[in-house]
Structure 1
């Protein structure tokens, strides 16, 4: 129990329900604060103003603690290849309402027949949104230059579209093609998010992946979702894409991007 916080609430004549209403958070979140969890910066600022107590009095080392281990970070992988195929299956198997994929090609997933079958089954009850790079897009070409694979990046996307055809024809699946600079790829399963960093000259498969879990007061998870929605809103919708898929045939292209 954070006795300083509890005392400050008592002195301010505010209950956990009062704070919940004024800060627009769940009462459970306030109780978590009382039991030691540290609110995010913007919430701490609002809370200390309400209580009339300096932040350092309630959380003497809050800044350092937040930097060391934000509660929404569930794990970090040094490279995407550190995540096994079974882990990807488990990740998506857990989804009950929302699956999202934002990448240039996501060919490593499209090449895994078990993942494609699982997602196809999930599409009957789960909303699935997939945003891949437009093969002819200028930013896809630029990413190919960065990875030193040239036109192979566009070929990888066409491979993915061909391999994902059984999934993409399902009614519960939405597909868009984007021409956006991606600073990371994102893979969502409900309240879990895997964010694959992009670094110049380094294939995505060899770049770090951060695993986030959404919480009542998460910030990073929500920021990435905002980015996902921004790219999604600018993407080309499904109209006309299935016609293009009918002309796609998979070819052998390395899937490390």
Structure 2
């Protein structure tokens, strides 16, 4: 029995069997079985296919709702990277470029973004001009939590100087309509890079620099999931953060 939903989505998006097979790392015959015989792919492959097609995986393959593994995996998890260093900066840039409504950034410094992509401020101005609400929270270099993080990561005073450098990078955005910049002194459990309903979450580990810690790629599927947990966390920090002013 055909998978009419999958067939319609592929047709509307101009997806051929070969193109979807390439995007998911399977052979063309497997895709043909999904479409023409209604077969359900492996869970990990199904999530890759749904991500590529921009669809809800359970809408494409309802059987996956019942076929849960022994250890449940959140349907909002798109990918899990062993460390941030495994992710090209282009992935962060692409995430921001695709945003249409909201961009949220919560970090201590993350100067790797400006260092690897000097056009970052220009890109943020472009997104703000198109209607994106942009909120950026960087670490307060004078806060005890930032100093403590430097000690824990054996970074010494480096983390404090990088927080100041991050603020220097973002300061030119002050006064740009739609862009807000704040500093915070909270314990940074996770760095958050959100663009609309997608987010990259750098989960920090005691004694490990951020580039060596894991990253979750999440896509929001509904209320109350992992994505909303991190979005609420960002909002809580934002409310306690101090607006950065010109001068």
Q: TM-score, normalised by structure 1?
A: 0.68
2:53 corresponding residue in structure 1: none
2:145 corresponding residue in structure 1: 139
What does residue range 57-96 of structure 1 map to in structure 2 within 5 Å?
59=66, 62=68, 64=70, 67-96=71-100
Label 1:33 to 1:142 Cα distance change in 2 as closer, same or farther (>3 A). same
Label 1:36 to 1:168 Cα distance change in 2 as closer, same or farther (>3 A). farther
Residue 202 of structure 1 aligns to a residue whose secondary structure is: coil
Q: Displacement of 1:68 after TM fit? A: 4.3
8 Å Cα contact 1:110-1:164 kept in structure 2:
no
8 Å Cα contact 1:72-1:218 kept in structure 2:
no
**Of 147-156 and 207-216, the range deviating more from structure 2:** 147-156
8 Å Cα contact 1:120-1:166 kept in structure 2:
no
Matched, 1:117 2:122: yes
Distance in 1, matches of 2:160 and 2:104, equals 21
How far does the alpha carbon of each residue in 1:117-174 deviate from its partner, in whole angstroms, 9 at most, with x for none? 2112112121100011111011011011111122211110111111222323312111
Residue 136 of structure 1 aligns to a residue whose secondary structure is: coil
Distance in 2, matches of 1:63 and 1:153, equals 41
Q: Displacement of 1:110 after TM fit? A: 2.8
Q: Displacement of 1:230 after TM fit? A: 0.7
Distance in 2, matches of 1:175 and 1:105, equals 13
8 Å Cα contact 1:88-1:115 kept in structure 2:
no
Label 1:234 to 1:137 Cα distance change in 2 as closer, same or farther (>3 A). same
Q: Which of 185, 203, 212 matches 1:179? A: 185
Distance in 1, matches of 2:194 and 2:171, equals 20
Larger RCO of the pair (alpha carbons < 8 Å, separation 6+): 1
How far does the alpha carbon of each residue in 1:85-143 deviate from its partner, in whole angstroms, 9 at most, with x for none? 22222111100000000011121123221222211211212110001111101101101
What does residue range 81-230 of structure 1 map to in structure 2 within 5 Å?
81-111=85-115, 112-124=117-129, 125-217=131-223, 219-230=225-236
8 Å Cα contact 2:103-2:196 kept in structure 1:
yes
Distance in 2, matches of 1:175 and 1:102, equals 10
Note the residue ranges of structure 1 that are not aligned, 5 or more in a row. Answer: 1-28, 39-58, 244-257
Larger radius of gyration: 1
RMSD between superposed Cα atoms in Å: 2.4
**Of 109-118 and 88-97, the range deviating more from structure 2:** 109-118
8 Å Cα contact 2:145-2:187 kept in structure 1:
yes
Residue 225 of structure 1 aligns to a residue whose secondary structure is: helix
Question: In the comparison of the two structures, how many residue pairs are matched?
Answer: 191
8 Å Cα contact 2:81-2:87 kept in structure 1:
yes
Q: Which of 59, 62, 74 matches 1:35? A: 62
How far does the alpha carbon of each residue in 1:5-49 deviate from its partner, in whole angstroms, 9 at most, with x for none? xxxxxxxxxxxxxxxxxxxxxxxx9x94993353xxxxxxxxxxx
8 Å Cα contact 2:74-2:226 kept in structure 1:
no
